Amino acid sequence: MDFSTILTYMYTEIALVGVIIAALLYDLIAGARGRKYFHGVMCTLMLLFIAGTVWPYQQENASIFGGMFVYAPIYSIVKSVLAIGTLLVFLLSDSWLRKPDTEFKRGEFYVLTLSTLLGMDFMVSAGHFMMFFIGLELASVPMSCLVAFDKYKHNSAEAGAKYILSALFASGLMLYGISFFYGTTGTLYFEDMVPMINGSALQILAMVFFFTGLGFKISLVPFHLWTADTYEGAPTPVTSYLSVVSKAAAAFALMVVLIKVFAPMVEYWQTLLYIVIVLSITVANLFAIRQKNLKRFLAFSSISQAGYIMLAVISGTPYGMTSLVYYVLVYMVANLAAFGVITAVEQNSDGKVNMEDYNGLYKTNPKLAIVMMLAIFSLAGIPPFAGFFSKFFIFAAAFEQGFHVLVFIALLNTIISLYYYMLVIKAMFITPNDSPIATFRSDNSTRLSLLLCLAGILILGLASSVFDGINLYAFGM
């Protein structure tokens, strides 16, 4: 295997490492003056990175490093979805990073974020459980640093500690599960394992352990207990990253492993997922109703969204995979738009993040209120916004495989979720307020990211080509 083969199939990761090194070097070399342009440089680099890797160059599947690393066109698409999410997060994080107590560690933010992205890419492309685990850890450890990035704030440090402790525990369980698999199959290569998977009691236990590790990353009930506190404590741009990119990568990786490795145990993991979906959607929705802090609110909303994402995983079909990637993309733009508005308001109003602070936002900041409203509509699945289409497709995916009752439960839950999503809209548009958030002008970078998200919300659903493009490469059991 020569370097050109590696370059052919690992181009995303190699380019990403290049970007990371560039960020490190720039942080090192650029003086105080150069750092002013750091944001612009990083966004340009990310843009180039995305432009260079967005299209799957190789149309056929391949594995390199003896099967450790697997390439498939759909992986490439997922990686570019993740990269786009990261770019959007970068764009909306500028106003926060420009504060005096974070300005000097800008470089760290970029490097840590990109490292987690690299970890996710490896996790998605893994062909071996060790590789998968390394990817997962690379995605988790820098993430806890990011969560604790505002380390002088009590909340942020606490959230970081909570995150890393839960992450370690989940990884431990997962590793334990993987060791069972090694014990029962004698290998950790995905392809070699398949014939040895027979659904024995030990393997079911191992699968549950493995699932726990990823369930933590996706924050499914009952592995969600860290979510609300971490989301609330972490700096808002990090929360947005955590809630979309990290979740998307883990959900996709889970689906790939379930399809590729655990296909012989399909009835077991479908049962497991069935329970987890019902729990996630219902519990998260019931908790979301009571939240007053918008970040906690979106934390519970994202748990229930994760439950919806699992509807695509449970189907195990190529169509399900398409719906998953599409859902993740749509969820990403909508959620980032919501978090973008929250960041903008938080940065321009001395940290107001409670729902009642948003009362009367439409009177003072109509554009932000409209962006928030459209994001919420998309999250709630209201047409003609993209969220409606992605929800419909995901329901169709699960329905096709005969999960009628499950889809029905999920649909009933969409009504509960509509109720609490409407509360935000009610606050912004209907509830009067004597001292609403003062009118402000958000910075260009935030505006750009909100504009991109808005374009996504409006266009992704109506233009079917995105869905069709993903559908070309999806695979299933």
CB of 418 to other proteins, least distance (A): 5
Does 430 participate in binding other proteins (rule CB under 8 A)? Answer: yes
Does 393 participate in binding other proteins (rule CB under 8 A)? Answer: yes
Q: Which of 101, 400, 439, 455 binds other proteins (CB under 8 A)?
A: 400
| Count of positions (residues) in the chain | 477
| Total interface residues for other proteins by CB under 8 A | 32
Q: Are 375 and 334 in contact (CB under 8 A)?
A: yes
DSSP for 452-463 reads HHHHHHHHHHH-
Measured over the CA atoms of residue 10, residue 66, residue 114 and residue 56, the dihedral's sign is: positive
Question: H-type helices in 188-293, by residue range?
Answer: 190-193, 201-218, 227-233, 236-241, 247-260, 266-289
CB of 410 to other proteins, least distance (A): 9
> Which residues are CB-contacts of 69 (< 8 A; sequence separation ≥ 6)?
9, 10, 63, 122, 125, 126, 127, 131
Does 75 participate in binding other proteins (rule CB under 8 A)? Answer: no
From 142-150, 162-170, 343-351, 402-410, span contacting other proteins (CB under 8 A): 402-410
Rounded CA-CA distance 37/142 in Å is 24
Does 422 participate in binding other proteins (rule CB under 8 A)? Answer: yes
From 252-260, 261-269, 413-421, 450-458, span contacting other proteins (CB under 8 A): 413-421
Rounded CA-CA distance 113/20 in Å is 9
**Site residues for other proteins, window 339-378 (CB under 8 A)?**
377
Does 459 participate in binding other proteins (rule CB under 8 A)? Answer: no
Residue 218 tokens read as: 């996706």
Does 418 participate in binding other proteins (rule CB under 8 A)? Answer: yes
From 71-79, 293-301, 395-403, 433-441, span contacting other proteins (CB under 8 A): 395-403
Does 395 participate in binding other proteins (rule CB under 8 A)? Answer: yes
Amino acid code (one letter) for 159: A
From 168-176, 289-297, 439-447, 461-469, span contacting other proteins (CB under 8 A): 461-469
Region label for 312, one of left (φ > 0), alpha (ψ between -120 and 50) or beta (otherwise)? alpha
Pick the closer one to other proteins by CB: 44 or 464: 464
Pick the closer one to other proteins by CB: 263 or 409: 409
Pick the closer one to other proteins by CB: 331 or 393: 393
Does 467 participate in binding other proteins (rule CB under 8 A)? Answer: yes
Rounded CA-CA distance 123/251 in Å is 11
Rounded CA-CA distance 450/341 in Å is 8
Does 404 participate in binding other proteins (rule CB under 8 A)? Answer: yes
The continuous run of DSSP H or E covering 70 comes out as strand 69-71
Question: Phi/psi at 212 (nearest 5 deg)?
Answer: -60, -45
Pick the closer one to other proteins by CB: 111 or 337: 337
Measured over the CA atoms of residue 226, residue 227, residue 232 and residue 237, the dihedral's sign is: positive
From 100-108, 119-127, 205-213, 405-413, span contacting other proteins (CB under 8 A): 405-413
Rounded CA-CA distance 122/149 in Å is 24
Pick the closer one to other proteins by CB: 268 or 388: 388
The continuous run of DSSP H or E covering 62 comes out as strand 62-64
Pick the closer one to other proteins by CB: 396 or 477: 396
Site string for other proteins, 312-341 (x = CB under 8 A): -------x--x-------------------
Pick the closer one to other proteins by CB: 160 or 320: 320
- Site residues, other proteins (CB under 8 A): 319, 322, 377, 382-384, 388-389, 392-393, 395-396, 399-400, 404, 407-408, 411-412, 414-415, 418-419, 422, 425-426, 429-430, 464, 467-468, 471
